Structure 1
Amino acid sequence: MSNTITLSDQDKSTLRTAAYGAVALMAAAGAPHKGTSHGSIALTSATGLVGHVLSAKSKDIHLQGKSVAELAEHVLPSLTAAVHLLGKQYPGEDDNFRDTVLVAVEAAAQPRKGEPSPAVAAMARKITAALDA
């Protein structure tokens, strides 16, 4: 599959920024540190085109913002853009990306005991909505 990747460098950056940004948003919302580590591992464990893009070593992940709101203004639209981009260029990979990000969000949200905090659960819903938009 890696021989047939024709995404531009900008497209790859959008995918990585969106996916790793989702985990960063979970951390900013209060997800436990161990959970966010598991979320990042979930991203690098992806398969298919998405897996190739997310596991590549790069310095093009751009997460900006001094507050959760500023970070969300950048990441949430990137998630939507990534799904649309993959849906147009690589049908099926949009679902792969969505599923991969949702697994990462679920991994990041796992508390030590009980349910995720309300803030973490709310951020997970916002990320899901951005992926579905």
Structure 2
Amino acid sequence: MELIIMSLTLTDQDKATLRTAAYGAVTLLAAADVTGSPHKAATAGSLALYSATGPVGHVLAEKKSGVGLDGKSVAGIADHVLPTLTSSMGLLKQQDPAEAGNFRNAVLVAVEAAARAHKGEPSPTAAEMTRKITAALDAA
């Protein structure tokens, strides 16, 4: 039995989009968690993303600039991040559905880590933002 591993062919712009989507989801959750410590949430989520594996893990671990987040409010950040999550999933599904699943899981683990960074339980606000992030990931 031959094992075939599909490789991703991603431009620098594609990689920046994936990083913006993933780190943007963590930023969005940290900004929305009004009861916790945003810096703790951001740190926990970022460390989880940095621990991702596979081709997606390599992209997320790259120390490159280009994670561009527009918006000075939670709504402004969400307007940028949620569609970027959906487009990232679409891009990955076209090239390698398994890596799309890997990306989805990495983002959700990071979001959960960020949500639980304060007192171990997500606030209602964090839980609702997690639902919106999950919906954006599943919209592609």
**TM-score in same-fold range (> 0.5):** yes
Shift, 1:5, TM fit: 4.7
| Residue 14 of structure 1 pairs with residue 17 of structure 2 | yes
TM-score (ref. length: structure 2)? 0.87
SS of the counterpart of 1:59? coil
Which of the two has higher C-alpha Rg?
A: 2
Question: What's the counterpart of residue 90 of structure 2?
Answer: 84
Would you say the 8 A contact 1:15–1:54 is kept in 2?
yes
- Unaligned 5+ runs, structure 1: none
Q: What is the RMSD of the two structures over their aligned residues, measured on CA atoms? A: 1.4
Note the 1:98-117 alignment, pairs <5 A.
98-113=104-119, 115-117=121-123
Shift, 1:113, TM fit: 3.1
TM-score (ref. length: structure 1)? 0.92
Alignment: residue pair count:
130
- Unaligned 5+ runs, structure 2: 1-6
SS of the counterpart of 1:62? coil
Question: What's the counterpart of residue 70 of structure 2?
Answer: 64
| Residue 53 of structure 1 pairs with residue 56 of structure 2 | no
Partner Cα distance (2:45, 2:24) in 1: 11
Question: What's the counterpart of residue 36 of structure 1?
Answer: 42
